[in-house]
Amino acid sequence: MPVEPKFVPLRFHEYTPEEMLLRSREFHAEMERRRTVRQFADRPVPEEIVRNTIKTAGTAPSGAHKQPWTFVLVGDPEAKARIREAAEAEEKESYERRMPKEWLDDLAPLGTDWRKPFLTTCPWLIVVMAQTYAATPRGLAKHYYVQESVGIATGFLLVALHHVGLATLTHTPSPMGFLREILGRPEEERVFLLVALGYPAPGCEVPDLARKPLERILVVR
């Protein structure tokens, strides 16, 4: 039988238009400082801080409220070393044989190659898994809009990590199946992406890139 819906009062705080404008400007200024970092310090980050950012990611909306995500937090040096070894093997193959010249040309301004030292230098990795379905005592439960839902949750995660003062890098080695095998994740999960996080290394530099201005990303009708 269908479950009878249950509702609770909405916890909502309304701001004045002036407060909203100020908050929108301040939040944009904070996020404008966010950059992808490839040079990490090996300084420790308390696990509770990272756990809280993952809890924030878990507040994201999802199709039919199925919450089809798992965040695998990896801090064990041996596990990180295995991940780096496998990732670099795939990336070396991609850079040397799989990627067309156009792709390599697009990556050139970022200064990247198949070497991924950040995977062992940073204190934590978060492997974001997308649950294609859920195994329940009553059988397999379908999930809806999985990629969209997990993508939104990952966005929440990146914002939360930046908000607490940590640098991040999103990493998508292709193919990524080795991550599920190394981490022992079940068949119903697929790797969405990997997030490296920590403090930037002293003297860290990032590519001199510009974001598209508002008039190039906004259409008003």
pLDDT in tens, 26-61: 999 999 999 999 999 999 999 999 999 999 999 999
Structure tokens at 185: 């994740």
pLDDT class for 137, splitting at 50, 70, 90?
confident
Q: Are 171 and 119 in contact (CB under 8 A)?
A: yes
Structure tokens at 40: 């990490």
> What CATH class is the domain 40-201?
alpha beta
- pTM of the entire predicted model: 0.94
How far apart are the C-alpha atoms of 86 and 119, rounded to whole Å?
Answer: 11
Using one digit for the tens of pLDDT, what is the confidence trace for 91-103?
A: 999 999 998 999 9
* Tokens representing residue 207 in the block: 């590519």
2 pLDDT higher than 80: no
Alpha-helical runs (H) found in the chain: 17-32, 47-57, 77-93, 101-107, 118-121, 146-163, 177-183, 214-217
Domain boundaries, given as residue ranges, for the chain = 40-201
**Calpha distance 94→114 (Å, rounded):** 8
